[in-house]
Amino acid sequence: MDSTNNTQNNNQLIPLAIIVAGLLVAGAVYFGGNKVSERSLTGTEPTTNTSGTVAPVTDKDHILGSKDTQVIIVEYSDFECPFCKVFHNTLHQILGIYGDKVAWVYRQYPIAQLHSKATKESEASECATDQGGNSAFWKYADKIFEVTTSNNTLDSTQLPALAGLIGLDVNVFNGCLSSGKHTSEIQADIVAAGKAGALGTPYSVILVKGKIVGTINGAQPFAQIKAQLDEVIK
């Protein structure tokens, strides 16, 4: 009798264990972000994220807020990364809460091994910047993340249309995009992301007066980022 009951109990526990394991895996995938070995990008062994070197924030950066503010989040992102799409909205929320206490810098990190269209989308956003400056970059970036369903689903023919939607000259935009003007620049950005410690996307570094005080690996939730920032902003 006891043996029968034990068998029944074990049979009931197996499905529960499967469900729990599935939730743990899903959570790891969601919060871990879109990862790729740094070796495939730079030919070197992966380094720890805390040992990265982040280039100083300048007027050439894509920034929401002031480069002179005390706390800056520098994000390395890929337009076709589904985790980046989620995190993009999260960082907009963060700025809505902290106002001028926190600035957000977007740096290009398209991972072509996973998203073959991402590099051209990064170039497109730079072409938008050429015409309309920093504000045009953010409008264009917001549009890409709004339209794409990620993982190479954005039709490249939509890139000029998005430029038109934010008021840019489409002919000028097309000329820029077809010229490959920003190709080498994006490749340099990829190398810089690796030096900063990025092993996947999104990857973000929290700077206080130019010094690294924390990192954000993957699409961490709003509450966790807020907790990190609250520790920094006293």
Q: Do 210 and 68 touch, CB atoms closer than 8 A?
A: no
- Find where tokens 């720890």 sit: 48
pLDDT of the residue at 44: 27
Q: Do 115 and 151 touch, CB atoms closer than 8 A?
A: yes
Residues 27 and 94 in one domain: no
Residues 21 and 49 in one domain: no
Backbone angles phi, psi at 61, to 5 degrees: -75, 155
pLDDT of the residue at 177: 97
Residues 22 and 69 in one domain: no
∠ CA 15-20-23, nearest 5°, is 125
Residues 3 and 52 in one domain: no
Residues 7 and 77 in one domain: no
Q: Which residues have C-beta within 8 Å of that of residue 125, sequence separation ≥ 6?
A: 79, 108, 137, 140, 141, 144
pLDDT of the residue at 115: 96
pTM: 0.80
Digit-coded pLDDT (tens) for 111-125? 999 999 999 999 999
Residues 172 and 95 in one domain: yes
Digit-coded pLDDT (tens) for 158-182? 999 999 999 999 999 999 999 999 9
Residues in the chain: 234
pLDDT of the residue at 234: 76
Backbone angles phi, psi at 136, to 5 degrees: -65, -35
∠ CA 47-51-57, nearest 5°, is 115
Residues 9 and 42 in one domain: no
- Look at residue 135 and give its three-state secondary structure: helix
CATH number where 80 lies: 3.40.30.10
Residues 72 and 176 in one domain: yes
Pair type for strands 203-208 and 34-35: unpaired
Closest C-alpha among 231, 214, 80 to residue 159: 80
Residues 26 and 38 in one domain: no
Angle subtended by helix axes 118-147 and 170-179, to nearest 10: 140
Residues 13 and 115 in one domain: no
Range of the domain at 23: 1-32
Q: What is the spatial distance between Cα 136 and Cα 160, in angstroms, rounded to a whole number?
A: 13
The per-residue pLDDT string of the chain (234 residues; one tens digit each, 9 = 90 and over) reads: 454 444 444 444 444 443 334 433 334 334 446 655 333 333 222 333 445 899 999 999 999 999 999 999 999 999 999 999 999 999 999 999 999 999 999 999 999 999 999 999 999 999 999 999 999 999 999 999 999 999 999 999 999 999 999 999 999 999 999 999 999 999 999 999 999 999 999 999 999 999 999 999 999 999 999 999 999 997
pLDDT of the residue at 52: 81
Beta-bridge mates of residue 71: 102, 208
Strand extents, DSSP E, the chain: 34-35, 62-64, 71-77, 102-108, 200-201, 203-208, 211-217
Residue 159: how many CB atoms within 10 A of its CB? 25
Q: What is the spatial distance between Cα 23 and Cα 26, in angstroms, rounded to a whole number?
A: 5
CA 16 from chain center: how many Å? 34
Domain count, the chain: 2
pLDDT of the residue at 125: 98
Residues 122 and 197 in one domain: yes
Residues 221 and 129 in one domain: yes
